[in-house]
Structure 1
Amino acid sequence: MRPGSVPSNQTYRLTGALIDIIKDSTDVRFNLAWTYGEFLNDAAQRLGTSEVLDASIMALVTAHAAICTRRKDRTTALVQYSNALCTLRRTLDDPVKACHANTLCAIVVLLLCQGMNGAEGSRWTGHCEGAAQILRVRGFYNPNDAFERKILLCLRGPVLFESMFNERIDLSPQEWRLLVDASFREATPEDEMMRCISHLRDFLRQYRKARHDQGVLLDLVSELQVHYRTMQGLLADQRERLGAYEADNAAHFRSSITTRVHSGYQSAFGVGLVIAIAYNCVLSGLSPDDTGLISDSASFVADVLDLAKNACRYRPLGSSYIALCLGAAWVGTMDVNAKLAVERAWDDYGGDFAPGLEKPPIAELEWTTRQLRLQDADPGQPASPLDLPRFVLGAA
């Protein structure tokens, strides 16, 4: 609240509704803050100070209720989301408000809403592009501002993933580095994985320009192989960390702290699998008969299926990243039986996913396969395998 201001009854109700779904005592299956980031705790303290933030949080609370109760009728959630979009458009017309941290936060919240509500037509949300443009106009952020840092930590995953295919997300090399290294802390395994996806994004963009220059291409591929080995090492560390935690805490998974840590380790491992699969796809596109890559692919798919089985205890929100993992596994294998196994796992989870994702989006997954296996040199019209915000924000 602004100093000296008195919160309205509506602000009280909205704040209470948000706190109910982000407080520590809320189960990991339904906890938005544990799934998507601590910035929501800060957002709760800012309600009543920003019209666009209030509208976006109202849309989020409504979407959360619909997805957690598996409500088929999303009319109310869509109305609130539309309301928030209109408020955002008005806010962006004001140069001062457009660059405020509250507006950037509202955009991240709307990413979540669109993922929960489903998307029509193009899978690009537009919000990742908008956030990138705001970051360019306003400059990145004050590293001493914890709120802005938390926002960027949640935003970097969707922006990095989407930028692999959507070249309208265009930041300078320095801006990309600032986004990837948004934590301003000693690098964690998750930070290193974000760097790996950034390297893959760079390769895909450079490949499209240099694919006919064999000399340049050989250098690019050699560098990509180095990053793939790095990613494999990070993934092995994540697998070991998760396995050790499960072995040490098998009898204690009913406590909120243990389940929170466990679901977080599962999520990090899932994101690692997605990135490793993406690397494997690109390298397989260059060397389709490489038996090592084929073996890696089979191992990754098995890991995803095992993870999906073990993460079901945290449905729907605590396992929301599973759609991204299953989509990657489908794209990452050319084995028909493996694809069918992934589709069966998707069917098991389908009721948790946003409208339009109850079944595997085969056409979009095939498009992504062509892109990552370098069968289409130009990404063409925006499209993507999944409604990324919902799954990547929670996972990254």
Structure 2
Amino acid sequence: MPGVPSSKGCDACRRVKKKCDELKPCSRCRRLQIMCIGSGQQRFKFKNAELEQMKMAHGERKRPRAVVSQAKILANCPRISNQMPGNELAMSFACTLTITDVRYDITYYGAFLKEIPRRLGSSVALDASVKAVVTAYPYFRHQNFSPDAYMEYCNSLRALRESLNDPVEAQSPNTLCAVYLITICQSWLGRYDDKLKSHGEAIAHLLKIADLRKCQSSFEKDMIVTLTVPVILEAVVNPRIQMDSQWWEDVTRRFSVTPRPRDANPPRSSNTLSTLAKFPEWIRRPDPYIPEIAVVYLTMRDDAERMRQYLARWSDLTSTSFTDPETFEHCRYQAGYTLVVTLALILNTLLRAFDPNNNVLVTEAFSFCDHIIRESETACRYRPLGAAYVSLCLVVGCSAAEDARQLAQLQALLADYSTDFKEINWIERVMWLRASFYSHRLRARSTRSECGGELVEAAWGQPNGRPESCCIM
């Protein structure tokens, strides 16, 4: 018996929830001339004992009498960070991330993209940019884009501009991520925009105004590092990207990764992000940094040789599947090796400008250009995304090559690769970088003439004990 009801009213009053005076018959029933049943009687409730025992055995509990609002319950519950995305847009982007074909795997643009689905719904610009990517991606393979792809791209630009007009949103990591996704979509569509003329320029602008102190989560840190590297690489061939040295010092101090030991397996470049950040300044004004450039060059040259020997293990790669893990590993390692060779070729060219008669440097430059040609031809099978880095390497090769045969091969390869991402004028990059190298040679030649044809040894930091491979040291 769970409880005794306090009311002793008749059945008719109880049915319509009216107060009963509990007379026999009650006043209401007498006035309405209806039968009065149960007036003044005590009532009891009974439960089936066996049924209650069965409910307890299955873990059922009585519902609490207090009603708590859903908002209060959600506020007190811990957040689940690894939950599956719950809306259609997040699910569509998550499905896009599951494509493991190295030719179309968009994680090439950064592993942090896998964290985007759970951030959707918090930024209009980010949502619009993801919508643009998801809409354009199915057409990317055949380059036959539908009007919907262009419409969503325009919508993403509109949403981005509104966010950039908001001082708070402009510094948000979500807005920076949205810019990155829009530039990816732009490269697929091959479209220019007045505010987004190139990947590096747009991202560099947002990185400058971003508050790095607020980037604390792993997503934000990985995004900053991922976006910094392409900005540096494009700054090598794009004079419009200007990042002050203080910003480079700040970002490398906060997000620099500990370099791998030289004997690590597989071998990789031992240079840090802070070293890579110096390349744009070295290309524009190498004279004060020649001793440092020479030291870094020897390190990168040795790293490239160890990576070349390791890459040779894939010479008998027989897998024809572009989703095979071994194919993926080969694609990514080949990209790392080719970029290290490209950076070493840049330093080699700068050093040759101040010592053009160094036969060792000339021979090594010829070898680097040959490696870039060979790897570019091999990487053709991974186009477009798996070989998207190749165009930058070919630009450097065309700018540094002095052998006519090599230059013709590099130019032909660059013309072919330029068809993958048409929004960048790679020839313009070649002309600027080649002119920079030429101006350094003219200035160094003028300096040598003023010094009577001899270089001042003290200017290079190490007048004695120089390695054979680089007489500048």
**TM above 0.5:** yes
User: Could you tell me which of 268, 271, 281 is aligned with 1:192?
Assistant: 271
Pairing 1:1-396 to 2, within 5 Å after superposition:
12-23=87-98, 25-33=99-107, 35-71=108-144, 76-118=148-190, 120=192, 124-125=198-199, 126-135=201-210, 138-143=211-216, 145-164=217-236, 165-166=238-239, 169-173=242-246, 175-180=247-252, 185-188=257-260, 189=268, 192=271, 194-207=273-286, 217=287, 220-244=289-313, 246=314, 250-251=317-318, 254=321, 256-351=324-419, 353-355=420-422, 361-374=426-439
Q: Kindly state the Cα deviation for residue 184 of structure 1 after the two structures are TM-superposed.
A: 5.1
**1:162-219, CA deviations, whole angstroms, 9 ceiling, x for partnerless residues?**
444546633443x313434665543244572644432323334554xxxxxxxxx4x5
Distance 1:335 1:252 in 2: 35
In the alignment, residue 44 of structure 1 is paired with which amino acid?
P
5+ long unaligned stretches in structure 1: 5-10, 208-216, 378-396
Q: SS where residue 250 of structure 1 aligns?
A: coil
5+ long unaligned stretches in structure 2: 1-73, 76-85, 261-267, 443-473
In the alignment, residue 160 of structure 1 is paired with which amino acid?
I
Higher RCO (CA-CA < 8 Å; seq separation 6+): 1
Q: Kindly state the Cα deviation for residue 239 of structure 1 after the two structures are TM-superposed.
A: 1.9
Distance 2:213 2:146 in 1: 35
Distance 2:149 2:358 in 1: 48
Distance 2:235 2:402 in 1: 25
Q: SS where residue 422 of structure 2 aligns?
A: coil
Specify the structure having the higher radius of gyration (Cα).
2
Aligned counterpart, 1:380? none
Q: In structure 2, do the counterparts of structure 1 residues 172 and 340 end up closer, same or farther at CA, with 3 Å as the change threshold?
A: closer
Q: In structure 2, do the counterparts of structure 1 residues 276 and 184 end up closer, same or farther at CA, with 3 Å as the change threshold?
A: closer
Q: Kindly state the Cα deviation for residue 51 of structure 1 after the two structures are TM-superposed.
A: 0.7
In the alignment, residue 167 of structure 2 is paired with which amino acid?
P
Q: Kindly state the Cα deviation for residue 75 of structure 1 after the two structures are TM-superposed.
A: 5.9
Distance 1:325 1:365 in 2: 11
Distance 2:175 2:338 in 1: 30
Q: Kindly state the Cα deviation for residue 233 of structure 1 after the two structures are TM-superposed.
A: 2.0
Q: SS where residue 385 of structure 2 aligns?
A: coil
Q: Kindly state the Cα deviation for residue 53 of structure 1 after the two structures are TM-superposed.
A: 0.5
More divergent stretch after superposition (115-124 vs 283-292): 115-124
Distance 1:260 1:182 in 2: 30
More divergent stretch after superposition (224-233 vs 59-68): 59-68
**1:110-164, CA deviations, whole angstroms, 9 ceiling, x for partnerless residues?**
23233333354996443133222222xx234444x11011201211112213444
- Kept in 2, the 8 Å contact 1:153–1:182? The answer is no
More divergent stretch after superposition (90-99 vs 111-120): 111-120
Count of aligned residue pairs for this structure pair = 350
Distance 2:154 2:272 in 1: 34
Q: SS where residue 29 of structure 1 aligns?
A: coil
Q: Kindly state the Cα deviation for residue 330 of structure 1 after the two structures are TM-superposed.
A: 1.2
**1:216-251, CA deviations, whole angstroms, 9 ceiling, x for partnerless residues?**
x4x52122111211221222233233223x15x835
- Kept in 2, the 8 Å contact 1:22–1:31? The answer is yes
In the alignment, residue 115 of structure 1 is paired with which amino acid?
S
**1:55-89, CA deviations, whole angstroms, 9 ceiling, x for partnerless residues?**
11222234433432233x58654443332222112
Q: In structure 2, do the counterparts of structure 1 residues 335 and 362 end up closer, same or farther at CA, with 3 Å as the change threshold?
A: farther
- Please report the TM-score for the alignment, with normalisation by the length of structure 2: 0.65
Q: Kindly state the Cα deviation for residue 47 of structure 1 after the two structures are TM-superposed.
A: 1.8
Distance 1:272 1:263 in 2: 15
Percent of residue pairs identical: 24
- Kept in 1, the 8 Å contact 2:379–2:387? The answer is yes
In the alignment, residue 100 of structure 2 is paired with which amino acid?
T
Q: In structure 2, do the counterparts of structure 1 residues 184 and 278 end up closer, same or farther at CA, with 3 Å as the change threshold?
A: closer
Aligned counterpart, 2:33? none
- Kept in 2, the 8 Å contact 1:180–1:191? The answer is no
Distance 1:273 1:66 in 2: 34
- Please report the TM-score for the alignment, with normalisation by the length of structure 1: 0.77
- Kept in 1, the 8 Å contact 2:112–2:223? The answer is yes
Higher helix share: 1
**1:12-49, CA deviations, whole angstroms, 9 ceiling, x for partnerless residues?**
343233222211x531111101x111111111221222
**1:295-340, CA deviations, whole angstroms, 9 ceiling, x for partnerless residues?**
1221112111211222222222111111112222111202222121
Aligned counterpart, 1:384? none
- Kept in 1, the 8 Å contact 2:284–2:436? The answer is no
- Kept in 1, the 8 Å contact 2:259–2:272? The answer is no
Q: Kindly state the Cα deviation for residue 268 of structure 1 after the two structures are TM-superposed.
A: 0.8
Q: Kindly state the Cα deviation for residue 91 of structure 1 after the two structures are TM-superposed.
A: 0.9
